[in-house]
Amino acid sequence: MINLEVKHKKIVHTDEYYYSVIRENMKRMRKAKNLTQQDLADLTDISREYICDIENESRNKHITIADLSRVADALEVDISELFNDKTKKDMKKIS
């Protein structure tokens, strides 16, 4: 008799993975609203340099939940949308 039981493997993403998802979504959403980094900085009371650091993958900048919430509010999206990795997966399928 063959055992057909399928074991589900739990996928655990690293911090770096989620930072890249947040970075990509934040930049895409900001550009979709025709906002510059300075515009977003002004709306969130976060410095433009910090916004730049978050969006720039080579800088590996961490962001607090409080700041992420302010960014989401400024972009008029639910904070969970910044964590949505659908775009990242779709981009891999195209590549």
One-letter amino acid for residue 84 of the chain: N
pLDDT tens digits for the chain (95 residues)? 565 565 666 667 788 888 889 999 999 999 999 999 999 999 999 999 999 999 987 776 778 999 999 999 999 999 999 999 875 555 444 44
pTM for this entry? 0.76
- Which tokens in the block code for residue 88? 């990242």
